[in-house]
Amino acid sequence: MATTIKGSAIFLAQFAGDAAPFDTLPNITKWAADHGYKGVQIPTFVGSLFDLDKAAESKTYCDEVKGICADSGVEITELSTHLQGQLVAVHPAYDSQFDAFAPASVHGNPKARQAWAVDQMLKAAVASRNLGLDVSVSFPGSLAFPYIYPWPQRPAGLIEEAFAELARRWKPILDTYEDQGVDVAFEIHPGEDVFDGVTFEMFLEQLKGHKRCMINYDPSHFLLQQMDYLAFIDIYHERISAFHVKDAEFNPDGRQGVYSGYQSWENRAGRFRSLGDGQVDFAGIFSKLSKYNYDSWAVLEWECCLKHPEQGAAEGAPFISDHIIQVTEKAFDDFAGGETDAAQIKAMLGL
């Protein structure tokens, strides 16, 4: 029997800010509820909304956070550690850019930055359990991505060693999540070493199929790679434990294609759009996920190069709600059925 997806929910990271109603957890959760959202995905890297250190130490604090959300009329869907997960593995080419994701005390010190990121990930496992959550969402980081295009020719063993090292870094983290009974649903995303199905399989193989290595399904990244994102669900549905509802469009022309010519987001052939403004077949996606018994949340991740975020947020909740399939408990043709008659069956088959 298929299951009904939970929603609508919203990832708060793109909306958090210094001004009300985006400045505190009570304010932003009430804002989300007022827009029709029933769940919020909380970024652990936004201190004005959530104190990860305190959440890992104090069940009381976690109960307070849940209470704030409940008072606003929303549930917590997952904790996000996207930025900390990114810093578990950083190629030196990206050091200066990714330092901004970490405290100033570890800037210019990749080993210290990595140690901080790992500690954050471990705290998020405990915090998730303290909040009663079974899934978290994150990025896996990148060691091989600068070598994505095979020119100049890659030396033999380069990619294999990159994925082996990525797994070595994540295995003890995932073991802690296993101890807490929490999945890490990785967002499969260009810029990460795990950016499509094949690379997810390579990562999972190095992790020896670790049960906590799961997928945060986001079709926008697959459309921009021109992947079959519906077939992806057929292949990997058993590993999908989180879902970002994000739209995108790909409009190649005679001047640019998948790589989009170093252009700004507005001028790229492939670009993210607000829900309903892009090309993603969400009717197909919600049908597939329902068929495969995905029973967790549908979470808006809003990113658009054109539309104002407030308009995108306002349109997002009804868009998701309209796509959630209330799964039926009986077949449409039950009215034509009847009692099983063994003699009739044999007669119909000429037996």
What digits encode the pLDDT tens for the residues 129-151? 999 999 999 999 999 999 999 99
Residue 185 structure tokens: 């649903």
Query: 């704030």: which residue's tokens?
Result: 68
pLDDT in the model for residue 331: 66
- DSSP-derived secondary structure letter, 300: E
Identify the band that residue 336 occupies on the pLDDT scale cut at 50, 70 and 90.
low
Query: Facing residues of 138 across strands?
Result: 81, 186
Q: What predicted TM-score, i.e. pTM, was given to this entire model? A: 0.95
pLDDT in the model for residue 335: 62
Residue 147 structure tokens: 């070598």
Residue 339 structure tokens: 């009692």
Q: Identity (one letter) of the amino acid at 307?
A: K
Domain positions in the chain are: 6-348
Name the nearest CA neighbour of 230 among 195, 281, 290, 194.
281
| pLDDT tens digits along 31-47 | 999 999 999 999 999 99
* 24 and 48 Cβ atoms separated by less than 8 Å: yes
| pLDDT tens digits along 270-316 | 999 999 999 999 999 999 999 999 999 999 999 999 999 999 999 99
DSSP states along 191-254: TBS--SHHHHHHHHHHTTS-TTEEEEE-HHHHHTTT--HHHHHHHHGGGEEEEEE-EEEE---S
Query: 């299951």: which residue's tokens?
Result: 3
For domain 6-348, which CATH number applies: 3.20.20.150, 3.40.50.1950, 3.40.190.10, 2.40.10.10? Answer: 3.20.20.150
- DSSP-derived secondary structure letter, 144: S
Angle between helix 158-180 and helix 110-130 axes, rounded to 10 deg: 30
